[in-house]
């Protein structure tokens, strides 16, 4: 890759990641106290494995290494967690990725997170809210701060318990639809 393309790709990655990093209280050089990996684990890699149930796409991504989030990995995750209905990509809150990493690691290092819904565009969210009482009009999916997920082969109630134990935000339990909602909003459950 030539230097200009490399520079432009990194500028784009950084510009997409910075709003989410700022929201999460994180800087590009590493987490602040209490908002991500601890100083002891700063050098450790953090990775996630995803399967998007709507697009069939898969991704294994190391998104944190050597004390910082990896911009290229964040871009790849943003793409996989895009609004599949409108093909709209938005920045996903890195704090949500840390939360997912903590929850999925409770079920083994190779757990695959099945994504039902990540980012939602305003148009998609409005259409879903019109069809269901279970969709919030001001959903955190609109901000890239929520995910609806499951871990195949793992009891959904156990995934819910693991998410609740993290105290990282909201946790919704939808056993009839076979997913757990997780977000980085205030701590609450339903």
Question: Per the structure block, which two tokens stand in for 137?
Answer: 């009009």
Percent of the chain beyond pLDDT 90? Answer: 69
Can you give the pLDDT at residue 20?
44
95-142 per-position pLDDT tens digit: 999 999 999 999 998 899 999 999 999 999 999 888 887 788 789 999
Question: Which pLDDT belongs to residue 172?
Answer: 97
H-type alpha helices, the chain:
3-23, 71-80, 94-105, 122-131, 156-166
Across the range 14-26, mean pLDDT stands at 44
**For range 48-75, the mean pLDDT:** 97
User: What are the structural domains, with CATH classification, of the chain?
Assistant: 3-28+43-189 (3.30.1380.10)
- pLDDT for 39: 47
The conformation of residue 83, written as its DSSP 8-state character, comes to B
**pTM for the full predicted model:** 0.78
- What b/e readout covers 99-120, taking b as 16+ CB neighbours within 10 angstroms? bbbbbbebbeeebbbbbbbbbb
For residue 138, the model assigns a pLDDT of 85
Query: Quick one: average pLDDT of 62-70?
Result: 96
Task: With both helix axes pointing from N to C terminus, report the angle between 3-23 and 71-80 in degrees, rounded to the nearest 10.
Answer: 70
């Amino acid at each position: 890759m030539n230097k200009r393309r490399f520079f432009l790709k990194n500028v784009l990655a950084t510009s997409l990641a910075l709003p989410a990093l700022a929201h999460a209280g994180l800087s590009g050089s590493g987490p602040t106290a209490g908002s991500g990996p601890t100083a002891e684990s700063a050098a450790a890699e953090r990775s996630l494995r995803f399967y998007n149930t709507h697009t069939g796409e898969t991704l294994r991504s190391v998104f944190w290494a050597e004390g910082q989030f990896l911009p290229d990995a964040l871009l790849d995750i943003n793409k996989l967690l895009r609004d599949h209905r409108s093909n709209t990509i938005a920045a996903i809150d890195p704090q949500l990725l840390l939360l997912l990493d903590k929850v999925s690691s409770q079920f083994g290092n190779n757990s695959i997170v099945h994504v039902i819904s990540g980012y939602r565009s305003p148009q998609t969210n409005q259409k879903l809210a019109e069809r269901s009482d279970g969709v919030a009009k001001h959903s955190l999916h609109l901000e890239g701060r929520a995910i609806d997920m499951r871990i195949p082969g793992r009891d959904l109630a156990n995934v819910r318990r693991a998410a609740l134990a993290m105290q990282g935000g909201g946790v919704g339990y939808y056993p009839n639809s076979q997913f757990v909602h997780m977000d980085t909003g205030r701590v609450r459950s339903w």
